[in-house]
Chains A and B, each alone.
Chain A
Amino acid sequence: MNCRQATRLLSDALDRPLRAKEKIRLRYHLLLCRGCTRFGRQIRVLRQAGRAYTPGDD
């Protein structure tokens, strides 16, 4: 698995349950990749921000 695929799966994981095989391959990739680990954490911050946001903030 490369980073492009891993980031896509990390995003998908916020929208659908991953299949067992996807989970295992992703987990293995994350053990070795700091960039994608951060990416996963940061898109959860985006989710948190999206929920806390009020449109048209001034």
Chain B
Amino acid sequence: MNGQASALSGGDIDAVRRDMIRFARLQLRDEAAAEDAVQEALLAAMSARRPFAGRAALKTWVFGILKHKIADVVRAQRRLVPVGTPDEDDSLDDAFDALFAANAHWSPESMPRAWPDPDGALEQTQFWRVFEICLSGLPENTARVFMMREFLELETGEICNSQGLSTGHCHVILYRARMALRLCLENRWFDGEKQ
């Protein structure tokens, strides 16, 4: 373990730090708070004096810490005015209209298909690439709210407060995110498990 740990270079740490900063900025939309959260997470990770077997192991560990730091900051955020333009996500609704027939039941071609082995998918590097592509296809606010709910595991009320949104609007945004991600993963991954 120790031999592998020493293989971690300054470059590895820089690369992880860049990903952390990018993620923290996207979530917090506050430059200084993002820098602080990343700094604290890195310090906490370093002071653990734990050997890391490569960059991926370091990354998993520090993101685990960063997640809690960001969640704490979000909980303390209170916005009265919605973040971003509230209607930018409405564009997704038109795409969903096409999924349903006139009677609002699934149209035959867009009825969800069975997903073979979803647990196995989560073990595959290629799946995460597709997941990332699907996530980055969402409007920014939609992606942020989804990640706050599913990655940071914040309660919906905490998310609404921090984003200046009504509870109802939060639920709509989460619904849109799930609809769009589900469809994207089905088309790009689960449909016949093609690459």
Please give the residue numbers on chain A whose beta carbons come within 8 Å of chain B beta carbons, in ascending order. 2-5, 7-8, 11-12, 14-16, 33-36, 38-39, 41-43, 45-57
Pick the contact of A49 from B59, B112, B131 — CB < 8 Å? Answer: B131
CB of A53 within 8 A of CB of B151, answer yes
Closest chain B CB from A7 CB (angstroms)? 7
Given contacts A4-B100, A15-B156, A38-B113, contact A50 B175 (CB under 8 A): no
How many inter-chain residue pairs (CB < 8 Å) link A and B? 98
User: What residues of chain A lie closer than 8 Å to B49, measured between beta carbons?
Assistant: none
Inter-subunit contact B175/A11 (CB<8 Å): yes
User: Could you say which of B19, B105, B178 has the most chain A C-beta atoms within 10 Å of its C-beta?
Assistant: B178
Contacts of B153 in A (CB 8 A): 51
Identify the B interface with A (CB < 8 A): 18-19, 22-23, 59-60, 63, 100, 103-106, 111-115, 118, 122, 125, 128-129, 131-132, 146-147, 149-151, 153, 156, 170-171, 174-175, 178-179, 181-182, 185-186
Asked if residues B115 and A3 are in contact (CB atoms below 8 Å), the reply is no
Give bound CA distance, A12 to B147, whole Å. Answer: 16
Cross-interface CB contact of A56 among B19, B115, B151, B186, cutoff 8 Å:
B19
A54 to B104, CA, bound (A): 36
User: In the docked arrangement, what's the CA distance between A41 and B182, Å?
Assistant: 10
Do B174 and A15 touch (CB < 8 A)? yes
CA distance A57 to B130 in the complex (A): 10
Q: Which residues on the A side are within 8 Å of B182 (C-beta)?
A: 39, 42-43, 46
